[in-house]
Amino acid sequence: MKLAILSRNSKLYSTQRLVEAARVRGHTVRVLDPLRCYMRIEPGAFSMHYKGREMSDYDAVIPRIGASVTFYGTAVLRQLEMMGVYTPNASDAILRARDKLRCHQLLAREGIGLPRTVFGDNPDDTADLLAMLGRPPHVIKLNEGTQGAGVILAERASASQSVIEAFRGLYANFLVQEFIAEAKGADVRCFVVGGRVVAAMRRQARRGEFRSNLHRGGTAKAVELDADETETAIRAARVLGLNVAGVDLLRSRRGPLVLEVNSSPGLEGIEGATGEDVAGAVVDYIDGRVRRARRIARRAL
């Protein structure tokens, strides 16, 4: 197949591994910077150019769209979808996953476990908002935060109040969660491809830290999931409509709780910790879908 990878940086580990996995399997692959893709929107005449050349004949695209280019990146992806190019993660699914509040609402509606979460807008409501959450400790999270930055543990309600006031002063969006103490500074990243968990790792925070992010000094090891965890990860990806997803879970007394579903999960940490060929699993899944679509199209002739 002819495969495009939408990525701002062809030198990133994840991008390079996907290119390598595709080439090893005999596919043609190109890395395209989404910000250099431009398009014509016209009934029956969608067109996309890349650095002066028409983009045609792509069978599939792997979107690796960073948070900072979500809007333009998903517009490029949507154009490719309309031109009949297969993507494991549709533009709408990526947008769903990027919106943390929406993501939590959709998962909770399906009965998928989450840390209890509250959010609100007006400072006059903060005390009642925290009462809706329950007793501290609380975890306060900036919506735009990533890699553990902007995730704060408040041991007392007065601390929660001050942090929330400070965030509000900066016009930052945030949500507040119950603190899952029994997770003991660890979370589990499940890499889901096509409704299967292809690799899983447990990230443990360093001593004195509750955030397990590798960027905050956490360490990662391969982990065996139990049936409940496997099912939760698969369901969370399915609810958001993602065929490639990184689902982060906390192990709690009441079972696995979803922290986040990532639509462009990195490959370096998970391949390093587990030794699995995750890039290969992604490419093989896409290849299977493209072949299936071709078979169906042939039969319809």
Ligand X SMILES: Nc1ncnc2c1ncn2[C@@H]1O[C@H](COP(=O)(O)OP(=O)(O)OP(=O)(O)O)[C@@H](O)[C@H]1O
Tell the smallest beta-carbon distance from residue 290 to ligand X (Å): 30
Alpha helices in the chain (DSSP H): 13-24, 70-82, 91-98, 100-109, 126-133, 157-169, 227-240, 268-274, 278-300
Tell the smallest beta-carbon distance from residue 115 to ligand X (Å): 4
Tell the smallest beta-carbon distance from residue 57 to ligand X (Å): 35
- Give the Cα separation of 90 and 63 in Å (integer): 9
Residue 61 vs 250, nearer CB to ligand X: 250
Q: Which residues form the interface with ligand X (CB under 6 A)?
A: 115, 139, 141, 145-148, 151, 177, 179-180, 183, 187, 205, 210-213, 248, 250, 259-260
Tell the smallest beta-carbon distance from residue 142 to ligand X (Å): 8
Residue type, 194: G
CA-closest candidate to residue 75, choices 101, 26, 38:
38
Cis preceding linkage at 137, omega within 30: yes
Sheet bearing 219-222, strands edge to edge: 219-222, 196-204, 186-193, 244-252, 255-262
Residue 47 vs 173, nearer CB to ligand X: 173
Residue 8 vs 27, nearer CB to ligand X: 8
Tell the smallest beta-carbon distance from residue 215 to ligand X (Å): 8
Residue 79 vs 264, nearer CB to ligand X: 264
The 3-class SS string of 49-79 reads EECCEECCCCCEEEECCCHHHHHHHHHHHHH
Please state the length of the chain. 301
Residue 12 vs 83, nearer CB to ligand X: 12
Residue 5 vs 205, nearer CB to ligand X: 205
Tell the smallest beta-carbon distance from residue 81 to ligand X (Å): 25
Cross-strand bridge partners of residue 142: 174
